[in-house]
């Protein structure tokens, strides 16, 4: 099981790497476009602001290799958001444009502080190999202040006063808004499923 982690200066690379290695994966961390193009499968992690993350990807000439990547690709947390068209964060930012829609801020409310931080239950919308063995009501760990649009790409959602697209998919691209590397058995199952997707 070979997997390439994009190390672009805006991701939780170490914790994702350790979680993958616990599953027996051989992990390569890179910011080299040639490595990305040749990878068997890719994980795009992310923490922080969308605009800064896209600046880093642009500076490293990684945007087009990610857009053209034909094998399994998984975005984690901010990495999921980067798969969409655009984000409202920091006055607006163009993203990778791999899934239609605009990422918006979570609107805080008394029962819904922002950021969304902590454990939430998942509701499965439709079957997918990434969710093999995942059940309605399983818990995942979230930390995010922006939310992806809910639409045809949503495979599973959490409830945070409104649906939170927790797992998304379009073609060979998947995303997890939560942190699988911090989500105990559920997260390990999802990472294992990703490693076993046909490349």
**Residue in 77, 89, 148, 176 annotated catalytic:** 77
Contact by Cβ (8 Å): 15, 182: yes
Q: How many CB atoms lie within 10 A of CB 196?
A: 15
CB neighbour list of residue 14: distance below 8 Å, 6 or more residues apart: none
CB neighbour list of residue 172: distance below 8 Å, 6 or more residues apart: 69, 70, 71, 72, 73
Euclidean distance between the first and the last CA atom of the chain, given in angstroms as a whole number: 10
Task: Please tell me the distance from the alpha carbon of residue 120 to that of residue 162, in angstroms, as a whole number.
Answer: 12
Annotation says 179 is catalytic: yes
**Residue in 64, 148, 181, 196 annotated catalytic:** 181
Annotation says 176 is catalytic: no
Annotation says 77 is catalytic: yes
**Residue in 148, 176, 179, 196 annotated catalytic:** 179
Contact by Cβ (8 Å): 183, 166: no
Contact by Cβ (8 Å): 94, 58: no
What residues are paired with 116 via a beta bridge? 144
Closest CA relative to residue 83, chosen from 47, 44, 32, 140: 44
Residues marked active site are found at 77, 179, 181
């Amino acid at each position: 099981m070979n997997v390439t982690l994009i190390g672009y200066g805006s991701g939780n690379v170490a914790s994702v790497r350790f979680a993958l290695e616990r599953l027996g994966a051989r992990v390569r961390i890179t910011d080299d476009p040639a490595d990305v193009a040749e990878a068997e499968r890719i994980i795009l992690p992310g923490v922080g602001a969308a605009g800064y993350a896209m600046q880093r990807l642009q500076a490293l000439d990684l945007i087009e290799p990610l857009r053209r990547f034909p094998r399994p690709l998984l975005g984690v947390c901010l990495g999921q958001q980067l798969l969409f068209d655009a984000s409202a964060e920091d006055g607006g930012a163009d993203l990778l444009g791999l899934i239609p829609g605009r990422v918006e801020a979570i609107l805080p409310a008394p029962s819904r502080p922002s950021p969304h931080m902590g454990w939430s239950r998942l509701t499965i919308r439709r079957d997918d190999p990434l969710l093999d063995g995942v059940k309605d009501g399983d818990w995942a760990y979230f930390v995010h202040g922006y939310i992806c649009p809910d639409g045809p790409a949503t495979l599973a959602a959490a409830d945070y006063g409104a649906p939170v697209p927790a797992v998304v998919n379009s073609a060979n691209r998947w995303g997890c808004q939560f942190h699988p590397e911090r989500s105990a058995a559920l997260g390990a199952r999802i990472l294992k499923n990703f490693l076993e997707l046909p490349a």
